[in-house]
A and B are shown apart, each in its own frame.
Chain A
C-alpha cells in the first residue's frame, strides 16, 4: 500500500497535493475534506464491485481507513486518485466472497466471435445507430449496472476502471498491478460480454 521510496522520482502535484500535505503535517481534521472529494465516486465504484449497499459501504469505510493509515507513506509518485483506487481495488480483491451473481470464471474470446454465434449479423441494429441520448434512460442504466455485476470480478474491475471511472490502460494496469496487455485482454472480453447482454436486452425488448 505504501508507495515506493524513490528520492529521484518527481512528485506529482495534482489537485489533492496541498490537502494531503496539510493532513500529513498534522491537520488531521482535514482528512474529512479528502473523504468528501472522493466519497461519491468511491461509493459508486464500490456498488459496482460489491452488488449490495451494505458490502459497498463496508468497502468504502475500509478503504478510507486504510488511506488514513497509509497516507503518511504516500510519495506523490502517482496521482492521489490513482493511489486511492489502488487501495480500494486491493480492499475489494481481498473480499473474496463467492457470489452466485459473479462466479470467478474465464471469459473466452471464442464465445463472442460472430462466427460462433447462432446468427451472424447482417445489419447494424437500431440500438447502435440511434443517438445515444435517446437511448440512455434509468432502465438502461439499471440494466448495464446489473450486467456489470454479473461479470467475474477480474473483468469487472478492469471495465469499471477503464470505461466508467475513465482511467487509461496504463493507469488501470498500475492500479491493479497488471501488465497493460493483460488489461487490454480483460477489457476486450468484458466489453464483448456486455455487448452480448445489451444485444439480448434490446432484442427481447424489440426496440
Chain B
C-alpha cells in the first residue's frame, strides 16, 4: 500500500489518537490497530515518528538557572511578608 491509496478514513481516525498512543493511554485493541496501520502507511508512520520526536525534544528541553539577583529579591520579599496577616 502506498500513501496515495491508503484508507483515508482509517488514517484520520489514527491521526486523532496519535498522542494517546505515544502516551500509552489507549487500550490494546486501539494500539494494535495503529501499529498495523502505521506499518502500511508511510504518511502516518512519518507523522507518528515526527510527533514522537517532538514530544522527546520537549521532554528534554533545558531549563534556565534562576538569576541570583532575582533569587535574592524573592528571598527579601518572602522575609518581608507581614506574618500576622496570614499563617
Does B35 interact with chain A (Cβ within 8 Å)? no
Summed over the interface, the residue pairs from A and B with CB atoms below 8 Å come to a total of 141
Interface string of B5-39 (1 = CB under 8 A from A): 00010011001101110010100000000000000
Does A184 interact with chain B (Cβ within 8 Å)? yes
Interface string of B45-87 (1 = CB under 8 A from A): 1110111111111111111111100110111011101010111
How many A residues are at the interface, by size bracket? 35 or more
The interface on chain B, measured as residues whose beta carbon lies within 8 A of the other chain's beta carbons, has a size of 50
Interface stretch (choices A11-19, A85-93, A96-104, A118-126): A118-126
Q: Looking across the interface, which residue of chain B has its beta carbon closest to that of A133?
A: B60
Q: Interface SS of chain B: helix, strand, loop or mixed? A: helix
Does B8 contact A132, Cβ atoms closer than 8 Å? no
Does A106 interact with chain B (Cβ within 8 Å)? no
Identify which of A68, A132, A141, A192 contacts B62 (C-beta below 8 A): A141
Does A39 contact B71, Cβ atoms closer than 8 Å? yes
**What B residues does A113 contact at CB under 8 A?**
12, 15
Does A50 interact with chain B (Cβ within 8 Å)? no
